[in-house]
A and B are shown apart, each in its own frame.
Chain A
Amino acid sequence: MATPVSVLRLPKGPDPNSRGFDPNSPRFVALCRTSISTSAAEADAKELQREQRARSALRERFLRCLLTMTNKKVQFHMHEKVDVEATFGASDIDVLNFQVSDLHTPIGVQKEALIRCQDVISFTFDM
């Protein structure tokens, strides 16, 4: 009777809450070019600290911006010179999609819609 080969564990399956591509994985850290380049290569601790503080500040500002935007009218400037206005609802966790209501488009008003974030260049709103 042949013995089945033993395994350490089963392969890990997908995470139901995210699309993956862990930004903390060694490969991501080594290969991903961010829009703001890191000085990680030089490993100057003081510089890194300053940079990390700046990154945290920017991230916090962005998240607060999303919170403030909730239920407000926002103008989205998108690719192909498209500008639309909608009432902002929420963002998904990876900032891939924005859930909006009353989206004004050149072909009419969409009651509920999802805007793909990669299509958005910038957005403005009155606080």
Chain B
Amino acid sequence: MAMRQTPLTCSGHTRPVVDLAFSGITPFGYFLISACKDGKPMLRQGDTGDWIGTFLGHKGAVWGATLNTDATKAATAAADFTAKVWDAVSGDEVLSLAHKHIVKSVNFTQDSNCLLTAGNDKLLRIYDLSQPEAPSQEIAGHSAAIKKALWCNNDKQILSAADDKTIRLWDRSSMQEVKMLTFETSVSSMEYMADGELLVITYGKTIAFYNALSLELIKTVEAPAPINSASLHPEKDFFVAGGEDFKLYKFDYSTKEELESYKGHFGPVHCVRFSPDGELYASGSEDGTLRLWQTAVGKTYGLWKCVLPGKSLFVSVYTFCLNKMVYCG
């Protein structure tokens, strides 16, 4: 019996959701943080989408959000010219790092001791969180606003993507640029996978996969519409992408074949990420919602329940009504 995908809608934000990130798997499950233009990033339980708390303190749109591996710390980047570090268990603001312009991206090292920030002041900044009063180390080079900056190669290097249509690789100890990729158009998103040292980049209708160490191109895949974000499954068998046509696309990584497309969002999809166990992926949209999608449609996981034949009539009617509520909601 063919099963149709039922996305789970997480409401609560009042403006577009522009970034989201998962934590690693912790003894309490895994967690999801969402960055929103309403200035109130939220923490949710990763497998159910249940709201846990809202980080209150930013005075402007939050453009980037991240969690450390064990979800004890969160960091956010905002239009109020600050990046903030939070205690992700209590929700308290721990540090506020003043910048000279809008901050777009934040990323913790694996040991959570350093924070990398980047934004419209075109600088990469490295903060030592054990010495927050000390000035940050700055790396200059980009000629336009930086969209995303990520630690890579065991935190020994940094990858940055900017509106100057380049992606650059930097060495942390020498603070020098090591390599540069130039594109015809601005890169819309960049995701780094430590396992396999892969880089997933989106621009125009293209999803491109690179070796993160050498910046060599592995392959490109064309989507039916302009793509804003893509994410590769942890097992690297498929990837998902979302963009301007409001749909989520699922592709086979090896064959590049488009497997599925899902409607659901009422606005462009800004970000999409696989969960650390690969069982679901989350998408954030201009419509102010986050949606959770199953990787294996029909499998019992989180709030999704596999129904045995026989019970299906009652459950289908119930789910049909639920879906109607979701669509109107």
Contact A10 B322 (CB under 8 A): yes
A28 at interface by CB-CB < 8 Å: yes
Q: How far is the CB of B91 from the nearest CB of chain A, in Å? A: 4
Contacts of A4 in B (CB 8 A): 3-6, 316, 319-320, 323
Q: Which of A13, A21, A118 contacts B53 (CB 8 A)?
A: A21
Give B291's nearest chain A residue, CB to CB: A11
B328 is an interface residue with CB less than 8 A from chain A: no
Q: Mark A4-42, 1 if CB is under 8 A from B, else 0.
A: 111111111111000111110111101110000000000
Q: Encode B313-329 as 1/0 by CB contact (under 8 A) with A.
A: 00110111011011000
Q: Once the chains bind, are B50 and A12 in contact (CB under 8 Å)?
A: yes
Closest chain-B Cβ to A15's Cβ sits at a distance in Å of 8
Tell me whether A14 and B294 are in contact (CB under 8 A).
Answer: no
Q: Find residues 126-151 in chain B having any chain A CB closer than 8 Å to their own CB.
A: none
The answer on a CB contact under 8 Å between B305 and A8 is yes
CB distance from A121 to the nearest CB of B (A): 16
Chain B 102-135, CB-CB to A under 8 Å as 1, else 0, gives 0000000000000000000000000000000000
Cβ of B312 to closest chain A Cβ, rounded Å: 6
Pick from A3, A31, A96: contact of B72, CB below 8 A. Answer: A31
B193 within 8 A of A: no
Q: Is the CB–CB distance between A21 and B318 below 8 Å?
A: no
CA distance A6 to B311 in the complex (A): 11
Are A28's CB and B89's CB within 8 A? yes
Q: How far is the CA of A3 from the CA of B4 in the complex (A)?
A: 6
B90 touches A21 (CB 8 A): yes
Pick the residue among A6, A22, A27 that contacts B28 (CB under 8 A).
A27
The secondary-structure label for the interface of chain B is mixed
Neighbouring B residues of A27 by C-beta, 8 Å: 28, 89
Find residues 1-28 in chain B having any chain A CB closer than 8 Å to their own CB. Answer: 1-6, 8-12, 28
Interface residues on A, range: 20 to 34
Among residues 270 to 320 in chain B, which have CB atoms less than 8 Å away from a CB atom of chain A?
Answer: 292, 294, 297-298, 303-307, 312, 315-316, 318-320
B92 interface residue per 8 A CB criterion? yes
CB within 8 Å for A2 and B3 given contacts A11-B48, A19-B56? yes
Task: Give the residues in chain B near A7, CB-CB below 8 Å.
Answer: 6, 8, 303-305, 319, 322
Pair A11/B4 contact, Cβ less than 8 Å? no
The distance from the CB of B131 to the nearest CB of chain A, in whole angstroms, is: 18
The one of B44, B89, B93 that contacts A31, using a Cβ cutoff of 8 Å: B89
* A67–B304 CA distance with the chains assembled, in angstroms: 48
> Is A6 in contact with B319, judged by CB distance below 8 angstroms?
yes
Shortest distance from the beta carbon of B193 to any chain A beta carbon, whole Å? 26
Taking a contact as CB atoms under 8 Å apart, the answer to whether A6 and B318 are in contact is: yes
| CB-defined contacts of A30 to chain B, threshold 8 Å | 28
A9-B93 in contact given A3-B4, A4-B316, A19-B56 (Cβ < 8 Å): no
**Contact assessment for A11 and B56 in the assembled complex, using a CB-CB cutoff below 8 Å:** no
Q: Which residues of B contact A10 (CB under 8 A)?
A: 8-9, 303, 322, 325-326
* B64 CB-CB contact with A under 8 Å: no
Partner of A3, one of B12, B44, B312: B312
Given contacts A6-B307, A21-B52, contact A11 B91 (CB under 8 A): no
Contact A32 B89 (CB under 8 A): yes
> Does any Cβ of A come within 8 Å of B51's Cβ?
yes
Which A residues are in CB contact (< 8 Å) with B153?
none
Query: With the chains together, A30 CA to B306 CA distance in Å?
Result: 33
A21 near B91: Cβ-Cβ < 8 Å: yes
Per-residue interface assignment for chain A, residues 91 to 105, with 1 indicating a CB less than 8 Å from any chain B CB and 0 otherwise: 000001000000000
Given pairs A2-B2, A3-B1, 11 additional interface contacts (CB within 8 A): A4-B4, A5-B319, A6-B316, A6-B319, A8-B305, A10-B303, A11-B10, A11-B303, A19-B91, A22-B53, A27-B89
Sorted from nearest, which 10 A-B pairs have the closest CB atoms? Answer: A20-B53, A11-B49, A21-B91, A21-B53, A2-B4, A2-B2, A12-B50, A14-B12, A5-B6, A27-B28
